[in-house]
Amino acid sequence: MTPELLLLFMLIALCVGLLSGFPVAFVLAGVALLTALAGDMIGIFDLVWLQALPNRIFGIMTNELLLAVPLFVFMGVMLEKARIAEELLTTMADLMGNIRSGLGLSVIIVGALLAASTGIVGATVITMGLISLPVMLKANYDPKISTGVICASGTLGQIIPPSIVLILLGDQISSAHTTVQMSKGNLSADPVSVADLFMGALLPGLMLVFLYGLWLVIYGRFSASGIPPVQNRACNDGLLLRAVKVLLPPLALIVLVLGSILGGFATATESASVGAAGAMLLAAFRKRLTFTNIKNVCQETTRVTCMVFTILIGAAFFTLVFRGLHGDDMIHEFLSALPGGLLTALLLTMVVMFLLGFFLDFIEIIFVVVPIVAPVLLAMGADPVWLAIMIAVNLQTSFLTPPFGFALFYLRGVAPKSVTTVDIYKGVMPFVVIQLIMLSLLAFQPKLATWLPNMLYHDGKASFSAAKELELEEGGIDSYSEEPEYSVDF
């Protein structure tokens, strides 16, 4: 048996295990272990590769950046339990009550604010579904419009900072970028930080919010049946004062957390701790910091954190065996041989990730697929920030696309029986088109993702570019394939 054939069996076993419903982390580790033992028995895999596993696990547990994950989860769940989202939605709906499509626009704005405070797609979609869907249906909104707006707004947590997706992507992309640069002899390359990804995602995220709102306004202008006419309401001083009290504290918290990261005053982990403390203060201010709420928030945070880190350890085991069978070299050779160079390789990678998004959570995709394909795409000349934002928007699109998008299942679980699954599918399709437009814009205009971080953090210089890649190759340093036989990432 050849390494190629064993790799094929390994991937097939992984797919079968994932589709069986068995916990993902144990599928990853179990398939990797069985493949390693089988490879050692037939003499095509050296178990010396597994000596790197303890060091990898230790590196995961001591990674300061990953500490931001439980802190941001705590922040988001605390804001949810404190009913901040409910107050935001009702207040925004009252403020925009005299605008046609005002309720739908309120849902989009609140969805963006929740995305910036929770960063968890499932929590945002479920929260928005429970709070806003009954209100929209009561206002005689078409169920298709209502469900489409809620699903699309909920997935903004994938791209709007401080997204957990971007934090995990930042860790993986930074590691891949450093490995590729060192292998090419470039020891002074600009590092890739989470702040780079946050700033790179800011413009695409705001553009998506704008495009969502624009489509809703256009639809409301030409469809009286889908979005009912507005009912004139007086905007009194009491409403304005309530709006200030409800909107100002969460906005101040978001600005404090993001501003400290983007301004370079604090790391993502430090800012996440400020966000968690700030969420507790907001809950206390609203007299909802009860023992029961604290207990529920801690339990949910622990559950999500354990899931993330267990999957990460299983994925580290899987990628270690994958590289031990030289699967990374095979992927590199395959993508490099495609006609069209980087564009074709990127397109194929995006299609595969899009399809995987129907069946796998973003955590599994980031920890399993990104470490395999990111070094290859970066070695071919992709900018790491641009690549990360492309992956984030692509996964967001996948989670929104029928028939298997996760966001659709989340909303189906909390929607009333009067709202059919077909209504949800039809409602999200215009937003899927908007997502594809955004992906196309990013693909052909990388500066949408790279301009802000390059100008603010790198003095206008790209952190990694095709020009630098060409310069290294012309100097005779083509290193990716010259990695030592047992050069393992410790």
User: In this predicted structure, what is the pLDDT of residue 210?
Assistant: 93
pLDDT tier for residue 435 given thresholds of 50, 70 and 90: very high
User: In this predicted structure, what is the pLDDT of residue 441?
Assistant: 93
Residue 397 has pLDDT above 80, yes or no: yes
Return d(Cα 170, Cα 177) in angstroms, integer: 10
- With left for phi above 0 and alpha for psi between -120 and 50, is residue 16 left, alpha or beta? alpha
Residues 171-186 have pLDDT tens digits of 889 888 888 888 877 7
Return d(Cα 347, Cα 364) in angstroms, integer: 20
Residues 272-331 have pLDDT tens digits of 888 889 889 988 988 888 888 899 989 988 888 888 788 888 888 888 888 888 887 888
Residue 121 has pLDDT above 70, yes or no: no
pLDDT tier for residue 393 given thresholds of 50, 70 and 90: very high
Residue 166 has pLDDT above 80, yes or no: yes
Return d(Cα 397, Cα 433) in angstroms, integer: 9
Query: Phi and psi dihedrals of 333, rounded to 5?
Result: -65, -40
User: In this predicted structure, what is the pLDDT of residue 388?
Assistant: 92
Domain boundaries in the chain? 66-477
User: In this predicted structure, what is the pLDDT of residue 113?
Assistant: 79
167, 404 contact by CB (below 8 A): no
Task: For residue 15, give the nearest of 471, 352, 459 by alpha carbon.
Answer: 352
Residue 269 has pLDDT above 60, yes or no: yes
Task: For residue 86, give the nearest of 246, 289, 240, 235 by alpha carbon.
Answer: 246
Lowest mean pLDDT among 21-25, 28-32, 56-60, 253-257: 21-25
Half-sphere exposure of 222 (CA within 13 A, CB side): 5
Lowest mean pLDDT among 150-159, 161-170, 453-462: 453-462
Contacts of 116 (CB under 8 A, 6+ apart): 160, 161, 162, 254, 258
Task: For residue 432, give the nearest of 321, 352, 358, 331 by alpha carbon.
Answer: 358
Residue 204 has pLDDT above 90, yes or no: yes
Average pLDDT on 6-23 reads: 82
Looking at every residue in the chain, the average pLDDT score rounds to: 80
pLDDT tier for residue 438 given thresholds of 50, 70 and 90: very high
Task: For residue 56, give the nearest of 302, 362, 321 by alpha carbon.
Answer: 321
469, 216 contact by CB (below 8 A): no
